[in-house]
Amino acid sequence: MTIGNSSLQNIAKLRPDSTKRKRISSYDKTGGNHDWLDVEPGELRTIAEVKGNAGKITHIWCTMTCKDKYYLRNIILRMYWDGEDVDTPSVEVPIGDFFGIGHAKKEPFVSLPFQMTPRGGRGFNCWWPMPFSPQFKITIENDTLKLLKIYYYIDYEIYTDKFNDIDDYGRFHAQWRRENPPKVKRIDPDTEKHYKTLQPIRFNYTGGKNTEPLVYNYKILEAKGKGHYVGCHIDIDNVTFLPWSINWPGEGDDMIFIDEDLKNEIPTLHGTGTEDYVNQAYGPGKKHFSPYHGTIIPGGFNFWGAISYYRYHIEDPIYFNKKILVSIEHGHDNHRADDWSSTAYFYQREPHDHRLYPKLLDRQGRKPRRHIAHLVRKFLCICTLLIPIFTFLVLGIITFISFKK
């Protein structure tokens, strides 16, 4: 079997008899309607494992309920290919982040490889193809103090005659990272003065030059081997207090170092700004979904709070033969101290170097940040709701008293 495309262009092509369509799901095997899997607090469960055939996962869907406030950061998804050791998964990502959004949030959106669908973004879909030969295993870990109920489909195909171009296909990988905050460049080396938010233009746009990107840039992906990077989503929690100017957190350039350019500290691909990397422009402040790039969460007033962008290199993969480092400035010249996280997706030939995966943060380290901007925004929202209610009650009391008289 030769793995082919699966778009509308060749959907009519008949497959050989050796190609078999399969599914693993959480259906109730007794014939009842208990179609979910219960995962107890602290429990690790294997939800799918196939051995003995070559094949490809074509689609993953799931939905879940859990009373833990941050369960989308505390349910850990892991994937293993072809007998990988339990300590070296190719995928090790909080489940919400894996399906396309950080911040332990769910929001309806549509991209080509991921969708979160109604009701309320609770239906999660992944369409990345995931070849294997001869084995795959998928586990979930419930790192909460509450019961998890998860419904899922894992759709795949097997090729009973194997596939004859096995060495041409990398295995699917994903890396989750968080820096809260990233390493900040606080002092202008020319003037030896601190960058200050009271000088917002210099702080956000013009002050300093980034001559040490490998020291200060936020790292999205680091990998060794042969493969290609196929994109990421970037999640910023804007905690910088800057009410007297445009508080845009994304002026930073993307810089991707490939093979020998990493050793020479020269970006192979150099961009011009965060919004430019995600194929938008001029500080995008609205939701926008397209197949390969978009804004799922645009931030609150003046870009405060949670922001999520995505950029998938499906038509333009970024190839590497030896190593790759994908990075981006957190604000111009890395002046900003916001909370950054990301999930990067890539294919590479096994074995991967798991030492380059960041150690998974504990529950507290994964917890979304709370800060003054959130509190102020909540206070204003509550006041907006309570003022008309209070006014209505006061007018009602006055009217009642007047009527009694």
Domain positions in the chain are 19-169, 182-370, 372-405
pLDDT at 373: 54
Q: Taking 90 as the threshold, does the pLDDT of residue 243 lie above it?
A: no
Q: Taking 70 as the threshold, does the pLDDT of residue 1 lie above it?
A: no
pLDDT at 188: 86
The mean pLDDT of the chain is 92
More confident: 256 or 208: 256
pLDDT at 193: 87
How many CB atoms are closer than 10 A to CB 108?
16
Q: Taking 70 as the threshold, does the pLDDT of residue 2 lie above it?
A: no
Q: What is the pLDDT of residues 278-308, one digit of tens each?
A: 999 998 999 999 999 999 999 999 999 999 9
CA 371 to chain CA centroid, nearest Å: 21
pLDDT at 389: 81
Q: What is the CATH number of domain 19-169?
A: 2.60.120.1390
Sign of CA dihedral 296, 299, 300, 302: negative
Amino acid identity, residue 163?
F
Residue of 62, 54, 80, 76 lying closest to 25 (CA atoms): 62
Same fold, 19-169 and 182-370: yes
How many CB atoms are closer than 10 A to CB 253?
20
Burial of 176 (0-12, 13-18, 19+ CB in 10 A): buried
- Among 85-94, 184-193, 213-222, which is the least confidently predicted range? 184-193
Burial of 165 (0-12, 13-18, 19+ CB in 10 A): exposed
Could you tell me the CA-to-CA distances from 244 to 87, 98, 198, 339 in Å, in that order? 48, 36, 8, 21
Element housing 381 (H / E): helix 372-404
The third-level CATH classification (topology) of the domain covering 182-370 is: Jelly Rolls (2.60.120)
- Among 58-72, 226-240, 360-374, which is the least confidently predicted range? 360-374
pLDDT at 23: 98
- Among 64-73, 132-141, 236-245, which is the least confidently predicted range? 236-245
Element housing 57 (H / E): strand 54-66
pLDDT at 404: 64
Could you tell me the CA-to-CA distances from 37 to 22, 325, 377 in Å, in that order? 19, 38, 38
Q: Taking 70 as the threshold, does the pLDDT of residue 219 lie above it?
A: yes
